């Protein structure tokens, strides 16, 4: 958990360094034993981030979030389990432990559902805040007409 928080902080510092014309951390000579595997590249409109709210979230078997939006960008990492992830209007994806996801601000998330009948789901979500207090807005389910 701490390693993931350090990774996010490093990514933020890398972005600031790049914006200021400083060398990217990948340009430094670091020991060969350190492996940096890109998990996710989330691009979003320029945004001031004053704080990051990091949460561990646990679902029971077959538990679903329901349709929702976030007023802020959210990035996350699946720790254990399998999730059906679908941004409304896009193809659904199944994410497994080790996969990362990005939920753009003010975009409807149609599904974020634990796929297992028997196993829990655990993920870590990073809410990129700039003074906002609301993290999630639940939406009514779509009805087929």
pLDDT of residue 85: 98
Domains assigned to the chain = 1-37 (no CATH), 40-138 (2.60.120.10)
pLDDT of residue 120: 98
Backbone angles phi, psi at 132, to 5 degrees: -70, 150
pLDDT of residue 30: 61
Give the torsion sign (CA, 44, 34, 52, 106).
positive
CB 114 within 8 A of CB 59: yes
Reading the block at residue 74, the tokens are 């959210």
pLDDT of residue 33: 86
* pLDDT average per 10 residues of sequence, the chain (145 residues): 53 52 58 86 91 98 97 97 97 98 97 98 97 95 76
pLDDT of residue 7: 52
pLDDT of residue 142: 85
The C-alpha angle 129, 106, 57, rounded to 5 degrees, equals 60
CB 20 within 8 A of CB 12: no
pTM of this structure: 0.75
pLDDT of residue 64: 97
pLDDT of residue 8: 55
């Amino acid at each position: 958990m701490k390693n993931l928080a350090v990774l996010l902080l490093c990514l933020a510092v890398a972005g600031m360094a790049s914006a200021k014309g400083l060398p990217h951390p990948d340009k430094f000579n670091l020991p060969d034993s350190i492996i940096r595997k890109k998990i996710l590249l989330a691009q979003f409109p320029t945004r001031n981030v004053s704080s990051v709210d990091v949460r561990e979230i646990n679902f029971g078997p077959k538990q679903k979030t329901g349709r929702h939006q976030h007023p802020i960008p959210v990035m996350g990492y699946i720790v254990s389990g399998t999730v059906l992830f679908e941004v409304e209007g896009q193809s659904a994806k199944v994410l497994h432990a080790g996969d990362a996801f990005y939920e753009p601000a003010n975009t409807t998330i149609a599904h974020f559902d634990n796929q297992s009948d028997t196993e829990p789901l655990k993920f870590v979500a990073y809410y990129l805040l700039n003074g906002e207090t609301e993290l999630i807005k639940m939406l009514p389910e779509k009805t087929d007409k």
